[in-house]
Amino acid sequence: QSLLTQPPSVSGAPGQRVTISCTGSSSNFGAGFEVHWYQQLPGTAPKLLIFDTNSRPSGVPDRFSGSKSGTSASLAITGLQAEDEADYYCQSYDSSLNGYVFGAGTKVTVL
Amino acid sequence: EVHLLEAGGGLVQAGGSLRLSCVTSGFTFGRNGMSWVRQPPGGGLEWVSSISNIGDKTYYADSVKGRFTVSRDNSKSTLYLQMDSLKGEDTALYYCAREPTVRWENWFDPWGQGTMVSVSS
C-alpha cells in the first residue's frame, strides 16, 4: 500500500475539468516535501508533468496545474482532451522511508 | 537533447543475478544524481534506488536493500544496477531517470524507455 493515496480512476467529457487527489501524511507533504506529477501514456515511459507542486516544464500545456495544502495535493486538468487519457502519478519524498514514494496512479478516461 | 537508454534486462531464474546499465547523453552526467524506478506488469511505479552525482551516497528501497547495488561510471556517463538474489516480485520494467537539481530530494526528468526484467520461480 502506497504512502500516497490516489483514486484509481477519474473521468470527464471533453472540455470538462477533472481533478486528481493525492493524500499524503506528516512524513511527506506534512514535513514540507514537495509533490511532483507524471503522465504515462499507454505503452510509454512516464513524463514529468508538474514539479514542485505547481511548476510546469517547458512544453506542458497550462491546462495542467497543481496545488498542495497540508498533507494533500491535487492535479487539475482543465479543457480535457482525448490526448489526456493516461495514467497519472504523484511523487514525493518520505522521511520515514528515507526514500521516494509514488502514488498508485490514477487512470483518466475521456468520455 | 537528454537521452537515457537502459539495457541488460532479460529472463532469469529466482535466486539469479542481472546487471542493468543506463547509458546517457546530452548532459553533464557527473552533475546529476540518478535513480532507478520500476513498474511491474500492469502495476504502478516504485522507486528502487538512487545515487549521488559523484557516487558517494546511495539509497535503496527496503524491498531491495541488501540485494541490489547501484553504481555509476562518470567517465562513461553510465548508471548501473546490480541485482542479486532475484525474486519473482522483482519482475518489472526498470527505468533509469535523472534527478534534475542539486537538491537532495528531487523529481525525475527525463526517464529512459525501460528494460524488462522477468524472474521465473
pLDDT of residue A2: 80
The per-residue pLDDT for range B66-101, each reduced to its tens digit, is 999 999 999 999 999 999 999 999 999 999 999 988
Min CA distance, A109 vs chain B (Å)? 17
Q: Which residues of B touch A34 (CB under 8 A)?
A: 105, 107
- Which residue ranges in chain A fall short of pLDDT 50? none
Q: Work out the pLDDT band at B17, boundaries 50, 70, 90.
A: very high
Average pLDDT over residues B37-61: 97
Residue A37 CB partners (closer than 8 Å, separation 6+): A48, A49, A50, A51, A64, A66, A75, A88, A89, A90, A91
Decide if pLDDT at B36 tops 80. Answer: yes
Min CA distance, A102 vs chain B (Å)? 6
pLDDT of residue B102: 79
Does residue B60 contact residue B71 with C-beta atoms inside 8 Å? no
Provide the β-strand partners of residue A4: A103
Measured between alpha carbons, how far is B83 from B89 in angstroms, rounded to an integer? 13
Average pLDDT over residues B26-51: 97
Decide if pLDDT at B32 tops 90. Answer: yes
Decide if pLDDT at B103 tops 90. Answer: no
Report the first-to-last Cα separation within chain A, whole angstroms: 29
**Amino acid sitting at position A26:** S
Q: Work out the pLDDT band at B105, boundaries 50, 70, 90.
A: confident
Average pLDDT over residues B21-27: 98
A48 in reach of chain B (CB within 8 A): yes
Q: Comparing C-alpha atoms, which of B102, B96, B78 is closest to residue B25?
A: B78
Decide if pLDDT at B104 tops 80. Answer: no
Strands B3-7 and B34-39: unpaired
